[in-house]
Homo-oligomer: A and B are copies of this chain.
Amino acid sequence: MEKLIEYILQFGNLNKQQIELISKNAAETQLHKDQYFAEAGKTFNRVAFVLEGVLRICYYNNKGEEITKYFIEENNFVANPYQNEPFTEYIQAATDCKLIVFYPQQWSQLSNTILEWDTIINKIFHHALMKKMDRRSSLVSEDATTRYLKFIEKFPSLTNRVPLSYIASYLGITQSSLSRIRKNIA
Protein backbone atom coordinates (compact mmCIF):
# COMPACT_ATOMS: atom_id res chain seq x y z
CA MET A 1 0.00 0.00 0.00
CA GLU A 2 2.91 2.33 0.69
CA LYS A 3 3.92 2.09 -2.95
CA LEU A 4 0.54 3.45 -3.94
CA ILE A 5 0.64 6.30 -1.49
CA GLU A 6 4.16 7.17 -2.44
CA TYR A 7 3.14 7.25 -6.05
CA ILE A 8 0.13 9.45 -5.43
CA LEU A 9 2.13 11.87 -3.32
CA GLN A 10 4.28 12.68 -6.33
CA PHE A 11 1.27 14.42 -7.79
CA GLY A 12 -0.11 16.26 -4.78
CA ASN A 13 -0.13 16.48 -1.02
CA LEU A 14 -2.27 14.48 1.34
CA ASN A 15 -2.49 14.53 5.10
CA LYS A 16 -2.48 11.44 7.31
CA GLN A 17 -6.24 11.21 7.57
CA GLN A 18 -6.57 11.31 3.83
CA ILE A 19 -3.92 8.68 3.40
CA GLU A 20 -5.72 6.50 5.87
CA LEU A 21 -8.97 7.00 4.06
CA ILE A 22 -7.38 5.82 0.88
CA SER A 23 -6.03 2.72 2.54
CA LYS A 24 -9.39 1.91 4.02
CA ASN A 25 -11.12 2.13 0.70
CA ALA A 26 -8.68 0.02 -1.21
CA ALA A 27 -8.54 -3.74 -1.48
CA GLU A 28 -5.55 -5.79 -2.46
CA THR A 29 -6.05 -8.52 -5.05
CA GLN A 30 -4.01 -11.03 -6.92
CA LEU A 31 -4.28 -12.04 -10.54
CA HIS A 32 -2.79 -15.15 -12.01
CA LYS A 33 -0.98 -15.00 -15.30
CA ASP A 34 -3.48 -15.00 -18.19
CA GLN A 35 -6.39 -14.11 -15.94
CA TYR A 36 -8.60 -11.31 -17.17
CA PHE A 37 -9.11 -8.20 -15.11
CA ALA A 38 -11.57 -6.72 -17.56
CA GLU A 39 -13.30 -8.09 -20.60
CA ALA A 40 -14.87 -6.56 -23.66
CA GLY A 41 -18.62 -6.38 -23.38
CA LYS A 42 -18.71 -6.46 -19.61
CA THR A 43 -18.83 -3.41 -17.41
CA PHE A 44 -15.56 -2.17 -16.10
CA ASN A 45 -15.76 0.54 -13.53
CA ARG A 46 -13.07 -0.35 -11.04
CA VAL A 47 -9.85 1.53 -10.73
CA ALA A 48 -6.70 -0.41 -10.02
CA PHE A 49 -3.08 0.21 -9.25
CA VAL A 50 -0.48 -2.36 -10.27
CA LEU A 51 1.75 -3.24 -7.33
CA GLU A 52 3.56 -6.14 -8.92
CA GLY A 53 3.53 -7.74 -12.32
CA VAL A 54 2.40 -6.57 -15.70
CA LEU A 55 -1.00 -6.20 -17.29
CA ARG A 56 -1.67 -5.87 -20.95
CA ILE A 57 -4.50 -4.24 -22.77
CA CYS A 58 -5.49 -6.05 -25.93
CA TYR A 59 -8.22 -6.36 -28.50
CA TYR A 60 -9.04 -8.25 -31.65
CA ASN A 61 -8.69 -6.58 -35.01
CA ASN A 62 -10.93 -7.23 -37.99
CA LYS A 63 -8.86 -10.22 -39.04
CA GLY A 64 -9.41 -11.80 -35.67
CA GLU A 65 -5.82 -11.27 -34.65
CA GLU A 66 -5.15 -10.45 -31.06
CA ILE A 67 -3.38 -7.11 -30.77
CA THR A 68 -1.59 -5.97 -27.67
CA LYS A 69 -2.30 -2.29 -27.42
CA TYR A 70 -0.34 -1.51 -24.34
CA PHE A 71 1.51 -2.92 -21.37
CA ILE A 72 0.96 -1.60 -17.88
CA GLU A 73 3.77 -2.28 -15.49
CA GLU A 74 4.20 -1.84 -11.80
CA ASN A 75 3.34 1.47 -10.27
CA ASN A 76 0.67 2.44 -12.72
CA PHE A 77 -3.06 2.87 -12.62
CA VAL A 78 -5.58 1.15 -14.85
CA ALA A 79 -9.04 2.48 -15.33
CA ASN A 80 -11.74 2.85 -17.88
CA PRO A 81 -12.01 6.42 -19.07
CA TYR A 82 -15.40 5.75 -20.63
CA GLN A 83 -17.25 4.13 -17.79
CA ASN A 84 -20.64 4.75 -19.26
CA GLU A 85 -19.83 3.01 -22.51
CA PRO A 86 -19.32 -0.74 -22.77
CA PHE A 87 -15.71 -1.71 -22.48
CA THR A 88 -14.26 -2.81 -25.79
CA GLU A 89 -10.91 -4.25 -24.85
CA TYR A 90 -9.45 -6.87 -22.63
CA ILE A 91 -7.18 -6.34 -19.69
CA GLN A 92 -5.23 -9.45 -18.97
CA ALA A 93 -2.48 -10.35 -16.54
CA ALA A 94 0.64 -10.86 -18.61
CA THR A 95 2.37 -12.16 -15.51
CA ASP A 96 1.14 -12.90 -12.00
CA CYS A 97 0.06 -9.59 -10.53
CA LYS A 98 -0.72 -7.89 -7.29
CA LEU A 99 -3.20 -5.08 -7.60
CA ILE A 100 -4.84 -2.55 -5.38
CA VAL A 101 -8.45 -2.23 -6.42
CA PHE A 102 -10.97 0.52 -5.78
CA TYR A 103 -14.62 -0.23 -6.35
CA PRO A 104 -16.91 2.47 -7.68
CA GLN A 105 -18.52 3.39 -4.34
CA GLN A 106 -15.15 3.56 -2.66
CA TRP A 107 -13.71 5.59 -5.44
CA SER A 108 -16.48 8.15 -5.35
CA GLN A 109 -16.16 8.38 -1.62
CA LEU A 110 -12.54 9.35 -2.05
CA SER A 111 -13.52 11.80 -4.70
CA ASN A 112 -16.18 13.32 -2.47
CA THR A 113 -14.16 13.41 0.71
CA ILE A 114 -10.74 14.44 -0.42
CA LEU A 115 -10.91 17.88 -1.90
CA GLU A 116 -7.94 17.56 -4.19
CA TRP A 117 -8.55 13.96 -5.16
CA ASP A 118 -9.94 14.65 -8.61
CA THR A 119 -7.17 17.07 -9.41
CA ILE A 120 -4.49 14.64 -8.37
CA ILE A 121 -6.07 11.78 -10.25
CA ASN A 122 -6.45 13.94 -13.30
CA LYS A 123 -2.78 14.75 -13.19
CA ILE A 124 -1.86 11.13 -12.80
CA PHE A 125 -4.03 9.94 -15.64
CA HIS A 126 -2.96 12.75 -17.89
CA HIS A 127 0.66 12.05 -17.19
CA ALA A 128 0.19 8.36 -17.93
CA LEU A 129 -1.60 9.11 -21.18
CA MET A 130 1.20 11.35 -22.35
CA LYS A 131 3.71 8.65 -21.61
CA LYS A 132 1.67 6.07 -23.50
CA MET A 133 1.27 8.45 -26.38
CA ASP A 134 4.98 9.15 -26.64
CA ARG A 135 5.87 5.49 -26.56
CA ARG A 136 3.28 4.61 -29.10
CA SER A 137 4.26 7.47 -31.40
CA SER A 138 7.87 6.54 -31.47
CA LEU A 139 6.89 3.10 -32.69
CA VAL A 140 5.44 4.29 -35.94
CA SER A 141 8.45 5.82 -37.59
CA GLU A 142 11.09 3.23 -36.83
CA ASP A 143 11.96 -0.10 -38.39
CA ALA A 144 11.13 -3.27 -36.50
CA THR A 145 14.56 -3.75 -34.99
CA THR A 146 14.67 -0.24 -33.60
CA ARG A 147 11.17 -0.66 -32.26
CA TYR A 148 12.19 -3.79 -30.44
CA LEU A 149 15.29 -2.15 -28.99
CA LYS A 150 13.17 0.72 -27.76
CA PHE A 151 10.73 -1.72 -26.31
CA ILE A 152 13.50 -3.37 -24.32
CA GLU A 153 14.58 0.01 -23.03
CA LYS A 154 11.12 1.04 -21.94
CA PHE A 155 9.90 -2.27 -20.62
CA PRO A 156 13.08 -4.06 -19.58
CA SER A 157 11.19 -6.15 -17.10
CA LEU A 158 8.91 -7.55 -19.78
CA THR A 159 11.40 -8.82 -22.28
CA ASN A 160 11.58 -12.34 -20.97
CA ARG A 161 8.49 -12.46 -18.86
CA VAL A 162 5.74 -12.40 -21.44
CA PRO A 163 5.12 -14.49 -24.56
CA LEU A 164 6.74 -13.34 -27.76
CA SER A 165 3.37 -12.99 -29.40
CA TYR A 166 2.36 -10.24 -26.99
CA ILE A 167 5.42 -8.20 -27.77
CA ALA A 168 5.19 -8.84 -31.49
CA SER A 169 1.63 -7.61 -31.74
CA TYR A 170 2.50 -4.62 -29.60
CA LEU A 171 5.29 -3.75 -31.99
CA GLY A 172 3.17 -4.39 -35.04
CA ILE A 173 5.20 -7.26 -36.45
CA THR A 174 4.72 -10.99 -36.67
CA GLN A 175 6.03 -13.36 -34.12
CA SER A 176 8.45 -14.95 -36.57
CA SER A 177 9.87 -11.59 -37.53
CA LEU A 178 10.41 -10.74 -33.91
CA SER A 179 12.12 -14.06 -33.36
CA ARG A 180 14.50 -13.35 -36.22
CA ILE A 181 15.16 -9.82 -35.03
CA ARG A 182 15.91 -11.10 -31.58
CA LYS A 183 18.38 -13.55 -33.05
CA ASN A 184 20.17 -10.88 -35.01
CA ILE A 185 20.58 -8.67 -32.00
CA ALA A 186 22.16 -11.29 -29.76
- CB within 8 Å of B: which residues of A? 61, 65, 67, 69-70, 81, 118-119, 122, 125-126, 129-130, 132-133, 136-137, 139-142, 169-172
Contact = CB atoms under 8 A, between A and B. Distances in A.
A129 B133 contact: yes
A136 B135 CA distance: 10
B141 A67 contact: yes
Nearest to A143: B172
Copies of this chain, complex-wide, total 2
Contact of A172 (B65, B69, B141, B170): B141
B136 A61 contact: no
Contact of A136 (B130, B133, B171): B133
Nearest to A67: B141
Contact of A140 (B129, B130, B132, B171): B171
A140 B172 contact: yes
Contacts of A132: 133
Contacts of A172: 140-142
A70 B140 CA distance: 11
A136 B132 CA distance: 10
A69 B119 CA distance: 28
Contacts of A61: 141
Contact of A169 (B67, B129, B141): B141
Contacts of A170: 140
A183 B132 CA distance: 34
A74 B61 CA distance: 29
A125 B123 CA distance: 11
Contacts of A171: 140
